[in-house]
């Protein structure tokens, strides 16, 4: 989720890399969701059977939502659904992507994995500041990554917790606010009912879809998103797709 609005820092009112966590990786082969045909059928422009994986399930949820609310149809635009996997590396990737464009975030992550190999608390702690700077870390982001690595987080328990509990635990960590925590659930864990309502691209995109005078507040959009439960992650991807289409980013 256009290139770029800048991503939003969690601890400021300006909102996010506008596409969650780098947060909207643009898919190369993911099918788009079209308007329903007469009788309620939804067209998949590319692809046929969807795998029962977290990404595949979110794609199916998107089909369900378009049947319920045709305004969300992406008209063949790829939804860009990816699930990175949980753990320390996923959090570091999100921190690295704060306040930069999607392309920049992806390039920085690629540079980091090339420089360090596995991104672990140990490799981040051992990396010299110059290496981290070359990979895109500011001093503050590097401090956050090191502090989180030293915190001894039980990611198995964190990743198994309910959505609200996971967010509550994550926001206790340095550099992690609600936006980043919710993006972790979306992009790292592939949770199906999470909507990062503070995301600027989601706010702008929904304002355009709904014909509002301007972007709704995060609180107003969160209230609106309640109607899309239990498929709010898919709703976010559909709105991001339309946001990018309007800006000719896809």
Cα dihedral across residues 53, 58, 62, 65: positive or negative: positive
The whole-model pTM stands at 0.79
d(CA 122, CA 77): 40
Which residue numbers in the chain have pLDDT < 70?
1-52, 249-250
Q: Which of 190, 189, 169, 240 is nearest to 57 (CA)?
A: 190
d(CA 237, CA 79): 6
Contact 16, 240 (CB under 8 A): no
What per-residue confidence (pLDDT) applies to 99? Answer: 87
Measure CA of the first residue to CA of the last residue in the chain; give whole Å.
Answer: 11
Contact 215, 13 (CB under 8 A): no
Residue given tokens 């790829």 in the structure block: 78
Q: String of b and e for 34-53 (b: at least 16 CB within 10 Å)? A: bebeeeeebbbeeeeebeee
Domains and CATH numbers, the chain: 26-81+193-250 (1.10.1670.40), 88-188 (1.10.340.30)
What per-residue confidence (pLDDT) applies to 141? Answer: 98
> What six digits make up the tokens of 108?
């920085």
CB atoms within 10 A of CB 155: 14
What per-residue confidence (pLDDT) applies to 7? Answer: 47
117-130 per-position pLDDT tens digit = 999 999 999 999 99
């Amino acid at each position: 989720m256009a290139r770029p609005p800048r991503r939003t820092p969690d601890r400021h009112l300006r909102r996010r890399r506008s596409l969650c966590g780098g947060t909207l990786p643009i898919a190369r082969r993911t099918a788009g969701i079209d308007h329903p045909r007469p009788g309620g059928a939804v067209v998949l422009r590319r692809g046929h059977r969807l795998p029962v994986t977290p990404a595949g399930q979110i794609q199916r949820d998107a089909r369900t939502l378009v049947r319920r609310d045709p305004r969300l149809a992406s008209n063949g635009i790829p939804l860009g659904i990816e699930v990175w996997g949980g753990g320390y590396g996923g959090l570091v990737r999100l921190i690295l992507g704060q306040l930069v464009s999607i392309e920049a975030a992806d390039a920085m992550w690629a540079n980091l994995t090339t420089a360090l190999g596995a991104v672990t608390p140990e490799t981040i702690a051992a990396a010299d500041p110059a290496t981290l700077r070359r990979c895109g870390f500011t001093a503050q982001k590097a401090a956050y990554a090191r502090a989180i690595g030293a915190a001894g987080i039980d990611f198995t328990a964190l990743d198994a917790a309910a959505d609200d509990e996971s967010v509550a635990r994550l926001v206790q960590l340095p550099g992690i606010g609600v936006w980043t925590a919710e993006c972790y659930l979306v992009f790292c864990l592939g949770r199906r009912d999470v909507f990062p309502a503070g995301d600027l691209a989601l706010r702008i995109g929904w304002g355009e879809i709904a014909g509002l005078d301007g972007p709704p507040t995060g609180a107003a959009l969160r209230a609106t998103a309640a109607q899309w439960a239990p498929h709010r992650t898919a709703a976010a991807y559909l709105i991001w797709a339309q946001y990018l289409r309007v800006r000719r980013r896809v």
